[in-house]
Amino acid sequence: MEDYLENYFVKNGKKLNLKDWPTLIDPLYKNKMDYQKLLKEQIIKMSKAQDLHYATNRNALLIIFQGMDAAGKDSTIKHVMSGINPQGCQVMSFKHPTATELEHDFLWRTTRVLPERGQIGIFNRSYYEEVLITRVHPEILKGESLKNDIHKIKNIWLDRYLSINNLEKHLHQNGTRVIKFFLHLSYNEQKVRFLERIDNLRKNWKFNVDDLNEREHWDDYKKAYEKCLSATSNRNSPWYIIPADDKFNTRLIVAKIILQTFKSFKMQYPKSDKGRLLELKELRRRLSQES
């Protein structure tokens, strides 16, 4: 892994304190025009990598985005993936589970929509919500049709980390690479973005009282993320903590990590054997004889 990416990689099992991770770093660009140029270059490279990924049809790529409200998950997906062919990519957003989803285990609703080989799957929030919001609001467990008093069992979070790690290990062994981004937003920057959503009429729809209520649990979410990231990050399915106070930086870093992941696939276009070349030669002959 490049030293550049190592700065954002979370080491498994190591005690994590988000205060040690910056939410803002020096700009990776000179000005807005330079940012647009750099991102465009990344997008072009990503488009070529996706085309090769689709043609190779050997691996699947699952990209997970998590973060506090207003961390920039939607905008990062929108800008970084803007050059991706929609036929080879599916974005899924997971909010409150439906009644049907609650009748299944906590991994069911996401495993149903995992990407196929040659495809890119993007989860805007994911099964990790079940060790984040559910940990902050354990009363949610009462609605999950679990065995009696499971919400009182202290080991439920460790059990869920184990289930997640086993799932991601299984996916990796069977050709699906999982990379996970935690967009690390500061408390003050969230306030700035919330106020913008209130003051800008075109952004009013993005804000409601639930967002403000959840902000009151900031420290609880921070602790839940610290435990989750440390327990579920490894080289095969890594967590990256991305400084999110500067959206331009966030997008450039995320794009670089995705490109580096594609590079690790060591892809090449399928080569034609002798039989295939003879078949193509015959098909060409038939086309050439058309009047």
Give the CATH number, domain containing residue 216: 3.40.50.300
Per residue in 122-152, pLDDT (tens digit) is: 999 999 999 999 999 988 888 887 765 555 6
Per residue in 186-232, pLDDT (tens digit) is: 999 999 999 999 999 999 988 899 999 999 999 999 999 999 999 99
Provide the pLDDT for residue 151.
53
Task: Give how many domains the chain has, as a whole number.
Answer: 1
Provide the pLDDT for residue 63.
98
Per residue in 155-168, pLDDT (tens digit) is: 899 999 999 999 99
User: Helix, strand or coil for residue 198?
Assistant: helix
In this prediction the pTM is 0.93
Sign of CA dihedral 67, 171, 115, 133: negative
Q: Is 96 exposed, middle or buried (0-12, 13-18, 19+ CB in 10 A)?
A: exposed
Range of the domain at 168: 3-288
Q: Which amino acid is at 52?
A: L
* Averaged pLDDT for residues 48-74: 96
What is the rounded CA–CA span in Å between residue 106 and residue 93?
15
Q: Is 176 exposed, middle or buried (0-12, 13-18, 19+ CB in 10 A)?
A: buried
Point out which residues pair with 241 in neighbouring strands: 182
Q: Give the contacts of 64 (CB within 8 A, at least 6 positions apart).
A: 122, 123, 126, 128, 178, 179, 180, 181
Share of the chain above pLDDT 90, in %: 76
Q: Among 58-62, 95-99, 251-255, which stretch is predicted with the lowest mean pLDDT?
A: 95-99
Position 2 pLDDT exceeds 60: no
